Amino acid sequence: MEYTINDIKHCVDLQRDFFLSGQTLSIDWRLKQLKLLKAAVASYEQEFEDALQQDLGRSHTEAYLCDILPSLVEIDEIIRGLKRWARPECHFSGLMCFPSLVTKVYKMPYGVTLIISPFNFPILLTIGVLAASMAGGNTAIIKTSSKSKACTAVLKKFINEHFPPEYITLIDGGHDVADMCLAQRFDKIFYTGSPAVGRHVLEAAAANLTPVALELGGETGNWCIVREDADLEDAARKIAFFKLCNAGQICININQVAVASRVSEAFIEELSKAFTKQIGENPLSNPDYPKLITDSAYARCADLADAHRDRIVYGGKGDPTSRRYEPTIIYPVSFNEPIVQQELFCPLLPVIPYNDGNIDHLLHTIATREHPLALYLFTSNKRWARRVMQSQQYGGGCINEVCVHLMVKGVPFNGTGHSGMGAYHGEWGFREFTHPSTVLMGSNCCNLSLREHPYSGSEGKKKMRLLHLFGR
């Protein structure tokens, strides 16, 4: 469908009228819709898997593991916790507010929300965010990526089949359609994608002072540090798995590995073995190995590899027809090369040797760059690792593990600075899509004249004594 600015405005107006009817305020009604969403995702499992295979070359197992199962788990967590999360908080008003004793904090929906989802996990990063918006009592207009065409088509059918357009609607199309959406007045915008587009979303939202949540990639890349005392085989195995997943097209994926120079050669040997063991001698002919999303994404990956051809120690071949590119280790790379100052979003993996005795210099270098979405440490020194994790600035991360912090229930997923703002998953998603409204319950009995004039003379002195007493 070809959209016009008036079509988009009509969608927003329709949803605003529905929201103002008050129907979404009922927690029981929200739970009914979330249970419908869960059942619908389960019924569309095969269609979602087929679409992910078509767009990204994912096997059905990887599609279920990375998109469908996490969506179901996310919805389940929201269903179980929603009544508790939505319960108004009750606070003692305090002596300064006497005779009021009780103040409530209500968790109120924003209203009409805009969800802009990316191509790399088009099911999870659409449905997971949608579930949070629904839990908050909002309506939602979803703008999906034009790159993942098969997934967008299935998602559009999925939404149209299960939800009325005045509650949830999906809009497809390119950047022009996204800009038409951003030109409307929404009550909340949630964008997942690149920092460059994130800036554009913020700029457009500023026109209407619309609150925004951004989940972005690491603009100068997510770091992984492998120290001398790390279990190299374990680190290599986990890093290889992660870099193979979705062919590196993951916002929290490892962009570059800094390895202690004394063990860098041994690490590369272990990493090469891990890649081969997991994906085989010829990844390009392995049907389980995903592909890059577009021809331009493939060309960018191939061009970067060609520019570092003399330092490729593993991989380095691609097939433009299938858009598959081998997992590729580039070694050695220095801290200041352009390849480690940009988000790669592909299966290339620069390896940077560093002096482990000067680890603080490495950490300082990372800290001076844009904050990553993820940070990963491999070391047997847990005390050092915990100290680093409590002093660096990043979205989230792992010690002696990769990516699975994303799957932990009850914790937020978020970025900071150039890697994003806001947070979601579980209760954090409910909080992101609601605003807390504080309401004091007043009384018409025993009202004190403390706050009223006069403020001078003997009355003023009495009031000052009481105010000083209340302030202690």
How many Cα atoms occupy the beta-carbon half-sphere of 243 within 13 Å?
34
- CA-CA distance, 368 to 356, in Å (whole number)? 19
Chain Cα centroid distance, residue 263:
33
Query: Residue 167, Cβ neighbours under 10 Å: how many?
Result: 19
Rounded to whole angstroms, how far apart are CA atoms 186 and 42? 30
**429's tokens:** 């998603």
- Residues with Cβ within 8 Å of 418's Cβ and at least 6 positions away in sequence, in order, are 195, 216, 218, 219, 220, 370, 371
The tokens for 151 are 């997934």
Q: Phi and psi (nearest 5°) for 190?
A: -125, 115
Tell the burial category of 452 from Cβ atoms under 10 Å away from its Cβ (0-12, 13-18, 19+).
Answer: exposed
Q: Is 215 a catalytic residue?
A: yes
CB 415 within 8 A of CB 438: no
Which of 11, 224, 251, 346 is the catalytic position?
Answer: 251
CA distance 273 to 353: 19
Active-site option among 49, 62, 77, 215: 215
The enclosing H or E element of 460 equals helix 457-470
Query: How many whole angstroms separate alpha carbon 255 and alpha carbon 221?
Result: 5
Active site residues: 215, 251
